[in-house]
Structure 1
Amino acid sequence: MKECIDNCLNCFRVCEEAVSRAIESSNINTEHVKLLQACATICMTSAEFMMIESNYHYDTCGLCAKICRACAKDCENGSEAWMQECYEACTKCAYSCEGMSKMGH
């Protein structure tokens, strides 16, 4: 569980930084920013649910994995280094959250 928490917290940090970078960008994509914000929020929520050992963390992890996959796909083809970092963090978080989610079902 610790690895999943760490991956969620890292993904939260990376997505928050990506929001700032995306907003600073000259051609801002509002849908991309919304997805980054949603991803950051669910990552923090999932980490918090695991830290308090809530029985619902399996559910939050399932949703986190889904949103992280969508965010990773959105960042995958970006040419900027921060988009690649976002892709990697989201992919890693999605993988660990999928595993955590399956443990509860």
Structure 2
Amino acid sequence: MSVQDPCIEACQKCAVACENCLSEMLDEQSDNDCPRCCRECIDLCLLCAQAVARNSRFSEEICRLCADACEWCAEQCGAHDHDHCQKCAEACRACVKSCRSMAQAS
């Protein structure tokens, strides 16, 4: 297992959780930025996983940006009682931790 694997895995899990949350929220009303944050998170998590996997020279910056987006998404989705929102927020928090560690290790 390489140093990058936990970050890649966290990003992939987060993208899936956000995709599920986004799908579930299509017919729901939201009083905050959920599901908008999910859309941002999905794109950035996938980009981050790809950048880290290929040892991109920009992976540190992408990891920081991904962590920022995931932090925002965790706050927004975490404010909802829906199970899918809580799972999304949990995956986002794990991704924040992993991406911040990866950015510091670079």
Preserved CA contact (<8 Å) 1:61 1:101 = yes
Equivalent residue letter for 1:82: H
Q: What is aligned with 1:5?
A: 8
Q: CA deviation at 1:29?
A: 5.5
TM-score, length-scaled by structure 2: 0.90
Is it true that 1:40 corresponds to 2:42 in the alignment?
yes
Kindly report the root-mean-square deviation, in angstroms, between the aligned alpha carbons of the 2 structures: 1.3
Identity %: 27
Preserved CA contact (<8 Å) 1:62 1:98 = yes
Q: Secondary structure at the match of 1:72?
A: helix
* Mapped partners of 1:87, 1:28: distance in 2: 15
Number of residue pairs matched by the alignment: 103
* Mapped partners of 1:96, 1:5: distance in 2: 9
Preserved CA contact (<8 Å) 2:33 2:76 = no
Q: What is aligned with 1:51?
A: 53
Q: How does 1:24-39 map to 2 (within 5 A)?
A: 24-25=27-28, 27-28=29-30, 31-39=33-41
Unaligned residue ranges in structure 2 (runs of 5+):
none
Unaligned residue ranges in structure 1 (runs of 5+):
none
Is it true that 1:90 corresponds to 2:92 in the alignment?
yes
Whichever structure has more helix as a proportion of its residues is 1
TM-score, length-scaled by structure 1: 0.91
Preserved CA contact (<8 Å) 1:22 1:29 = no
Q: How does 1:64-79 map to 2 (within 5 A)?
A: 64-79=66-81
